[in-house]
Amino acid sequence: MDHSIFMDKASTPTDGELKHVLGDKYELWMEIRERVFLKYPDGKEEWNFPGKKYGWSFRIKDKKRAIIYLLPMREEFMAAFVFGGKAFEAIKESEVSPQVVSDLESARVYAEGRGIRIPVPDRAALKDIFTLIDIKLAF
């Protein structure tokens, strides 16, 4: 599934609705959010509705760009990033999983960079996501 559980443009998701649809994964969502703000306290968080094909997603931005996108689904979610060339090179030299590097290598390259979506099924996924947050903020 490539779209949000929240598809009604007229209704911005609430924290209560998010907790309800994510279930026990809500705690992982909050850990990712907290990690971004720990590293970048000036981040701005917002819900975004890019279109009826995708529904609502959540993002945390710095002054110019999105640091991370979180896409809520039923009882799960994905973390998404876009990386420019220098950040991509840093990722290849980092300790992220080979799967993340492979997914980024095969990703289509756009003007803003390469995108990746990472499912967050459990706490083990947080290691790569935290490394990617650090690299995103460094570049």
pTM of the full structure? 0.93
Q: How confident is the model at residue 1 (pLDDT cuts 50, 70, 90)?
A: low
**Secondary structure element (H or E) that encloses residue 101, with its range:** helix 98-106
pLDDT of residue 74: 87
116 alpha carbon, distance to own chain's centre = 9
Domains in the chain (CATH in brackets) are 15-138 (3.90.1150)
Per-residue pLDDT, averaged over 97-104, amounts to: 97
Cβ-based neighbours of 130, under 8 Å, separated by 6 or more: 32, 35
Mean pLDDT for the stretch of residues 54-67? 94
- Does pLDDT of 100 surpass 90? yes
Residue 82: which of 97, 62, 98 has the closest Cα? 62
What confidence score (pLDDT) does residue 3 get? Answer: 80
Helix, strand, or coil here: 52?
coil
